[in-house]
Structure 1
Amino acid sequence: MLQTVDVGELSIGAYLQVVPEEIMAPLLEVAGRLRGARVLHLSATPYGGGVSELLRSAVPLYNDLGVHATWKIITGLPPFFAVTKKMHNALQGATTPVTAEDRALYERTAERNAAQLRADPEFAGFDYVFVHDPQPTAVRSYVDGSRARWVWRCHIDTSQPDLATWHYLRRFLEPYDATVFTTAQFVPPDLPPGRVEIIPPAIDPLSPKNMSLDDRTAHAVLNWIGIEPRRPLITQVSRFDPWKDPLGVIDAYRLVRKEVPDLQLALVGSMALDDPEAWEVYRTIADAARDDPAVHLFTNLTGVGNVEVNAFQRMSAVMVQKSLREGFGLVVCEALWKGTPVVAGRAGGIPLQIADGVGGVLVDSVAGCAEAITGLLTDRPRAAALAAAGHERVRRHFLLPRLLLDELTLLDALAQER
């Protein structure tokens, strides 16, 4: 049987003092209509990315709302995850072909996971199944006679996909009852018939990564891992992925150092089970930064976890997210929630979070990134005003109960259609 991810207990009542009433009231109402329903979330990894972060908080809140949720992980050997990473990149616009051999491995793994899912005694009781991203997508095609309503949740930027890869994946979406994308621009024009929803992700303001952390503690945490708290610091938190443009961040940092000589840069990345490309990117970054002691490279495998990321996002003068493609970029909202301005690539879901004059500055090049960082480092009142406006935008639009409201509203609509 597939692995079930253990999660803790959370209370939706704890969010009443944080989230606007216009979100909380309808959330409780729609949850009441769905009370007793059973929901399965199916994904590729229990840690190391935005999907796992969302589910770790969302699943226990589903349960507290009376909607019984379970989170399971598909299994696969390293070659399978190499194939799905190739598919992920192709769906974001890379031209590396997915070969016939890749497709055969993808389908064999999906069929094996579907068999394990069908053998699970819990499976027959689920009313809804959320399938997250390309890795488990094909599982649905090998589950015949399911009484559940199936939803495919795409978290990546599919606005300019490699067409051959998209057309291959598209056939596995035929049996789904609904698909969910972060923005309308990500919806391919030839999507199979069915309900299409636009639901941006959100952050959990009460999670260890986002909970309140006083300055003294945050300084102590960063000092412990080698950051000098009295020197200015800029940070990018992301997977080690070429689409996050870490080398471009280093180039921008070097331009800013001409104006701010004592500047430090931290690149904080996570390693995940479904991302075999990450170590290669890590080694490339390490080589590029080898001769500069002010560039710090950290991973979740070297002792940098949620609390350390929390401290980085609070103590950095500017957070950077110089993505070239980006499904959403939860780290943008995380930084804004903590009152830190962001300089970010004008890519994917990032502009949803940083509107004009709110939260930070959108950029399109290394030079533009460096100029924006320098401007915020040298004009602290402007930086503070941008960050304050960004915090309010996150409070109104990008906190977890809003995501739950959108998802449960979708499930309620599917129930009524049946």
Structure 2
Amino acid sequence: MSVSLVDLPPAPRTRGPAAPPHDRTVWHINTTAHGGGVAELLRRSVPSHNAAGVPTKWLALGGDAEFFAVTKRLHHRLHGYHDPHGPLGADERRIYAAATAQLGREVLEHVAPGDLCVLHDPQSIGLAPALSAAGIKVAWRCHIGSTEHASPEVRETWEFLRPYLDAPLRCVFSVDGYAPPGLRPGQCVTIPPSIDPAAAKNRALTPDEVTAALRAIGLEEGAQGTGSARSGTATVLQDAPLPPGAEVVVQVSRWDPLKDMAGVLAAFAERIAPRRPAAHLVLAGPEPLDIPDDPEGAEIFAGVRDAWAALPAPVRARVHLVKLTLKDTEGNALLVNALQRRADVIAQKSLREGFGLTVTEAMWKGAAIVASRVGGIPSQLRHEREGLLLADAHDGEEFAAHVLRLLANEGLRERLGDAAALRCAELFLAERELADHYRLYQELRP
């Protein structure tokens, strides 16, 4: 077990949105400094807090394989996903309690009474009782969840976490309806996540910049050599690069069973590729070895890689797998930006989703989006207004039909993309989320 202070470069000084000075430190605590939406949010928001006059630091918790195996199950279960390992029992409670107790003691070496700790997701809520007992103000931000509270997995997981839920003064959820029954009146608040339009992942890129970024990793035709490629920022598995004029469908996600990369691959190979000869698929995700709190990533990627290798050669030549290193944060962000801007259609065929940051990123770029009607995604974009939503996230035929419809209709792509960019600007940019956080901090001040 370990606790590490994440060192971040400062952001330019700004004025916060009507926030009075905060004389105590705000600590954001999660389990990884790289990979996934929470780390990305903190990498942007912590410097922004400091620039606006709110002293803020970030602690990343390290754990062993047993701890992360349990927390990964908690993650899937809160989404309502079937747990093949069976019920949560005494062993899981012991592992979780022992790990969070030790981590709590180490966190208390950093924080001081009167400080505010924002704990992120189920991995860290176990610290709440010890921190509260030491005079620390505690909020818990849960980025995942489900409105299916009657689901056995969801219900049992909330019962597992129940001993820790009394300590936080506030529980923050990304979507209305994620809060479990039984919390105190006034204990919950909703803060949808946001993106920074000036960040490397979201800033405007010229067509030449997009092409240069993709050629640099060997994905776009015109790079040195052909076939699979490795660079300092990415590894590309392919038979040949994207040719000029290719219609490109992109999904950017973790290698996680809930993101259904394998389902996207199957739908493309069986239903899209035969009908659109110019269509290519790019599946991009982080290098699994760079994410210590995600023990499944390597296994899921291996399954997708094997499915790709088994495709008939003409179809396999139109599918490209990209692993992005997390050791170069700026390079990773620029590549994701370039991939999303090169796409004719961006997919997010999640089986479960807390809140789709990749959907928000695509909206900001004015992309044509096909996404599942699960979790927070319907609160982000609306069917036929800002994108196309799947009624059944498991339905490959419906997914393919939506993608084919968009590829065949440039006017529809532009209409939906323009509406998505406008909605993102109104609801999902960083300034709004910072203001929401300031209100939360003010409520928790003594």
Q: Calculate the TM-score normalised by the size of structure 2.
A: 0.86
- 1:48 and 1:273 in contact (8 A); partners too: no
Separation in 2, partners of 1:37, 1:265: 49
1:155 aligns with 2:147: no
Corresponding position of 1:276: 295
1:392 aligns with 2:422: yes
1:159-198 equivalences in 2 (<5 Å)? 159-160=147-148, 162=153, 163-192=155-184, 194-198=186-190
Letter in 2 for 1:4: L
Corresponding position of 1:59: 46
- 1:327 and 1:348 in contact (8 A); partners too: yes
1:107 aligns with 2:97: yes
Does the C-alpha gap of structure 1 residues 56 and 387 become closer, same or farther in structure 2, counting only changes over 3 Å? Answer: same
- 1:235 and 1:319 in contact (8 A); partners too: yes
Separation in 2, partners of 1:347, 1:145: 37
Corresponding position of 2:275: 259
Separation in 2, partners of 1:106, 1:177: 22
More helix by share: 1
Structure 2 runs not aligned, ≥5 long: 221-241
Q: What is the deviation of 1:170?
A: 1.8
Letter in 2 for 1:256: I
Letter in 1 for 2:93: R
Letter in 1 for 2:10: E
Corresponding position of 1:143: 131
Corresponding position of 1:17: none
Match of 1:238 among 253, 259, 267: 253
Corresponding position of 2:320: 296
Corresponding position of 1:77: 64
Separation in 1, partners of 2:437, 2:17: 13
1:221 aligns with 2:222: no
Letter in 1 for 2:272: V
Letter in 1 for 2:206: D
Q: What is the deviation of 1:190?
A: 2.2
Structure 1 runs not aligned, ≥5 long: 14-23
1:326 aligns with 2:353: yes
Q: State the secondary structure of the residue aligned to 2:325.
A: helix
Does the C-alpha gap of structure 1 residues 174 and 265 become closer, same or farther in structure 2, counting only changes over 3 Å? Answer: same
Letter in 2 for 1:97: P
Q: What is the deviation of 1:222?
A: 1.6
- 2:197 and 2:429 in contact (8 A); partners too: yes
1:175-212 per-position Cα deviation (integer Å, ceiling 9, x unaligned): 11000111112111223555210111011111111112
Q: State the secondary structure of the residue aligned to 2:159.
A: helix
Q: What is the deviation of 1:126?
A: 5.1
Separation in 1, partners of 2:106, 2:100: 10
Separation in 1, partners of 2:411, 2:363: 15
Q: What is the deviation of 1:142?
A: 2.7
Separation in 2, partners of 1:251, 1:152: 38
1:82-97 equivalences in 2 (<5 Å)? 82-93=69-80, 94-95=82-83, 96-97=86-87
Q: Calculate the TM-score normalised by the size of structure 1.
A: 0.91
Separation in 1, partners of 2:30, 2:174: 17
Q: What is the deviation of 1:158?
A: 3.1
- 1:38 and 1:125 in contact (8 A); partners too: no
Separation in 2, partners of 1:296, 1:170: 44
Corresponding position of 1:4: 5
Letter in 1 for 2:292: L
Q: State the secondary structure of the residue aligned to 1:62.
A: helix
Moved over 4 A (4+): none
1:385-411 per-position Cα deviation (integer Å, ceiling 9, x unaligned): 110110011111001111111111122
Separation in 1, partners of 2:341, 2:200: 13
- 1:173 and 1:192 in contact (8 A); partners too: no
1:134 aligns with 2:132: no
- 2:248 and 2:344 in contact (8 A); partners too: yes
Letter in 2 for 1:239: R
1:369-408 equivalences in 2 (<5 Å)? 369-408=399-438
1:234-292 per-position Cα deviation (integer Å, ceiling 9, x unaligned): 11001111111112211221211122112111111123221101111111111111131
1:341-397 per-position Cα deviation (integer Å, ceiling 9, x unaligned): 110000111111112433210012211111111111110011011101100111110
Separation in 1, partners of 2:114, 2:343: 44
Corresponding position of 2:231: none
1:28 aligns with 2:28: no
Separation in 1, partners of 2:359, 2:425: 13
Q: What is the deviation of 1:89?
A: 1.0
Corresponding position of 1:18: none
Letter in 2 for 1:309: V
Higher relative contact order (CA 8 A, sep 6+): 1
- 2:132 and 2:138 in contact (8 A); partners too: no
Corresponding position of 1:285: 304
Letter in 1 for 2:306: D
Separation in 1, partners of 2:202, 2:385: 20
- 2:131 and 2:138 in contact (8 A); partners too: no
Separation in 2, partners of 1:141, 1:207: 36
Aligned length: 400
